């Protein structure tokens, strides 16, 4: 009987087909419960400084398993940003609606939820209708996608004090070549706005 491809096998096949470098680390965390810690790093040389990372950890939050593109940015280290698609709860909570950042573009603001600690810098980043369209297209491509800066819950290079821009899916891994390529492209475009 033929075995099914694992998530790591799928990523290895995509990397091989695309000519990307891949590094895989896996270890058993608990043999009793069958928990494994897995990490995959993929380098696509078309996008300098961008690193695709898939992680399966022992955490108990929504970032227990995540996958996406991370890129260091030369920007204020304390800057925080979270961009995701608006959900039903966002639309029902008046308090949440009052506190979220809005760009002033009604079509964008009606579809996208943004949290930030710096309204001025976030407005500069998101003022372009072209950037807004790319963000909407990416976030609507599948569920549980988000774009962030300064999320300390995720990948941090221990050798650096840099802040990271992340374009990720949480509670799962990106296993579609087109989605991975879209994440690389969007991260690269947004990186230029920061650097």
Residues 133-148 have pLDDT tens digits of: 999 999 999 999 999 9
| Main-chain dihedrals φ then ψ at residue 152, nearest 5 degrees | -70, -10
Per-residue exposure over 15-28, b if at least 16 CB sit within 10 Å of its own CB, e if not: beeeebebeeeeee
Residue with the larger pLDDT of the pair 103 and 34: 103
Please give the structure tokens belonging to residue 153.
């819950």
At 64 the pLDDT is 84
At 135 the pLDDT is 97
Residue with the larger pLDDT of the pair 163 and 18: 18
User: In the chain, how many domains are there?
Assistant: 1
Average pLDDT of the segment spanning 4-8: 81
Q: Is residue 152 part of a domain?
A: yes
Indicate the average pLDDT of the chain: 86
Strand partners, 168: 68, 146
> 């996958």: which residue's tokens?
67
At 1 the pLDDT is 44
Q: Is the pLDDT of residue 172 over 50?
A: yes
Q: Is the pLDDT of residue 5 over 60?
A: yes
Split at pLDDT 50, 70, 90, the class of 152 is low
What's the domain range around 181? 7-194
Q: Is residue 1 part of a domain?
A: no
Least confident interval from 2-6, 23-27, 59-63: 2-6
What helix, strand, coil percent values describe the chain, rounded to 5? 35, 30, 35
Residue with the larger pLDDT of the pair 95 and 40: 40
Q: Is residue 2 part of a domain?
A: no
At 35 the pLDDT is 60
pTM for the model stands at 0.87
Dump pLDDT digits (tens) for 59-106: 777 888 899 999 988 877 788 999 999 988 877 777 777 788 999 999
Percent over 70 (pLDDT), the chain:
86
Write the CA distances from 172 to 56, 93, 129, 169, 195, integer angstroms. Answer: 8, 27, 30, 7, 29
């Amino acid at each position: 009987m033929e075995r099914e491809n694992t998530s790591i096998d799928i990523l290895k096949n995509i990397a091989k087909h695309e000519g990307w470098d891949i590094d895989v680390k896996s270890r058993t965390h608990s043999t009793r419960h069958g928990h494994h810690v897995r990490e995959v790093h993929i380098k696509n040389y078309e996008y300098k400084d961008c690193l695709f990372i898939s992680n399966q950890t022992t955490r108990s939050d929504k970032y227990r398993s995540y996958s996406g593109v991370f890129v260091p940015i030369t920007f204020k280290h304390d800057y925080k940003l979270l961009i995701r698609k608006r959900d039903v709860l966002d639309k029902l909570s008046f308090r949440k609606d009052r506190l979220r950042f809005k760009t002033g573009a009604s079509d964008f603001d009606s579809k996208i939820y943004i949290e930030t600690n710096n309204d001025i810098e976030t407005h500069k980043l998101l003022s372009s209708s072209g950037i807004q369209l790319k963000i909407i297209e990416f976030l609507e491509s599948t569920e549980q996608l988000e774009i962030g800066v300064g999320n300390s819950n995720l990948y941090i290079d221990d050798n650096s004090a840099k802040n990271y821009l992340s374009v990720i899916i949480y509670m799962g891994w990106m296993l579609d070549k087109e989605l991975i390529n879209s994440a690389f492209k969007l991260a690269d475009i947004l990186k230029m706005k920061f650097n």
